[in-house]
């Protein structure tokens, strides 16, 4: 996995997480990936942890995320692509 940051063409801040085939295999086994400043350095904004999970569909993702949700959790359903 690599983590990179910079600016996109429109000037917005950009954070890129690149996953290897091995990362994908581990995600498919149910092992989530955590990306945070302590491990990945200045690419990750202070106070932010990024969680990466895998599911065959949105229902799988919701099932995986449910243990981490509370009343203040916002779930945004993106487009199906």
| Domain definitions of the chain by residue range | 2-68
Residue 4's nearest CA partner among 35, 32, 46 is 35
What string of pLDDT tens digits covers the 81 residues of the chain?
A: 998 888 999 999 898 999 999 999 999 998 999 888 888 778 788 888 888 999 999 888 888 888 878 888 887 776 665
The pTM of the full predicted model, rounded to 2 decimals, is: 0.75
53: its two tokens: 């999970």
- Whole-angstrom distance, CA of residue 62 vs CA of residue 75: 9
């Amino acid at each position: 996995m690599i983590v990179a940051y910079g600016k996109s063409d429109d000037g917005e801040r950009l954070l890129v997480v690149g996953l290897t085939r091995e990362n994908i295999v581990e995600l498919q086994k149910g092992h989530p990936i955590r990306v945070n400043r302590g491990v990945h350095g200045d690419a990750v904004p202070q106070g932010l942890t990024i969680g990466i999970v895998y599911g065959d569909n949105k229902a799988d993702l919701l099932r995986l995320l449910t243990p981490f949700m509370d009343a203040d959790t916002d779930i945004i359903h993106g487009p199906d692509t």
